[in-house]
Amino acid sequence: GLKLTREELGDCQRCKLKDKRTNIVFGMGKPDAALVFVGEAPGGDEDRTGEPFVGAAGQLLTKMIEAMGLSREDVYICNILKCRPPGNRNPEPDEIVECEPFLKKQLAAIRPRMIVTLGKFAAQCLLRSDAPISRLRGAWKEYQGIPLMPTFHPAFLLRTPSAKREVWADLQEVMRELDRLGIQRTSPSRPA
C-alpha cells in the first residue's frame, strides 16, 4: 500500500535533487481516493512544509477541487517528482526516471477511478507522449486502464487566467464521469 511505498522511498538519495531539498513531498489525501491529481514537482512552499500544492498554485488547485463539489480530503494529490528542483526549474529526464516508479506505485496502491494530470510533465510522463499539453488537454486518455484527463497546470492559469475556461471544461468532463460512476460529490459551483 501507500505506507509501504513511502517506506521504500525512505530518505531518498536516488537523484541529484536530494542535496537541495528540505522535505520530501510524497503526496496527501485519501488513500483510496476515486480521483487523483498529479502535478509536476514541489515548489518552495511545498518543500518547506512537505505538503503538495500549498503555495499560490496550490490554493488555486484547492479552489478548483472545491468548485467540483469535492474537498482536498476526498481526493489524493501528488507530483511526479517528490523533491523540489532548485529555483523551480523543470524536471530533468534522469530525475523523472528515478522518481516515476514511486508515482506508479502510489497509483497502483490507490487504484483511483480517474486521474487528472496538471501540466505538460505529468501528462507526458504518464501517457508516454511528447505531444504538447495544448494538444493533449481536454480529451480522455488512459493510464493502465484508468481514465486520465490532462489539463493545464494551475501555475499556468495564474499567468494566463483566460485559460481557466478550458480547464473548467476539462473538469466538467471529470465531474460528468464521477457522477456517471456514482461517486459522491456536492453540486458544483462556478469556476474559481
Binding site for ligand URA (CB under 6 A): 39-43, 46, 52-53, 55, 57-58, 79, 155
Q: How many whole angstroms separate alpha carbon 44 and alpha carbon 47?
A: 5
Cβ proximity to ligand URA, 28 vs 183, nearer residue: 28
Those residues with Cβ within 8 angstroms of residue 53's Cβ, 6 or more apart along the chain or in another chain: 37, 39, 46, 61, 62, 77, 154
CB of 52 to ligand URA, least distance (A): 4
Those residues with Cβ within 8 angstroms of residue 108's Cβ, 6 or more apart along the chain or in another chain: 144
Select the residue whose beta carbon is closest to ligand URA and give its number: 39
- Site of grid cell 494551475: 154
CB of 117 to ligand URA, least distance (A): 10
CB of 54 to ligand URA, least distance (A): 7
CB of 181 to ligand URA, least distance (A): 26
Cβ proximity to ligand URA, 53 vs 102, nearer residue: 53
The H-or-E segment that residue 104 falls in is helix 93-110
Cβ proximity to ligand URA, 34 vs 41, nearer residue: 41
CB of 69 to ligand URA, least distance (A): 22
- Quick check: helix, strand or coil at residue 68? coil
Cβ proximity to ligand URA, 49 vs 129, nearer residue: 49
Q: Name the grid cell of 16.
A: 541529484
Cβ proximity to ligand URA, 50 vs 191, nearer residue: 50
What are residue 148's phi and psi, to 5 degrees? -130, 125
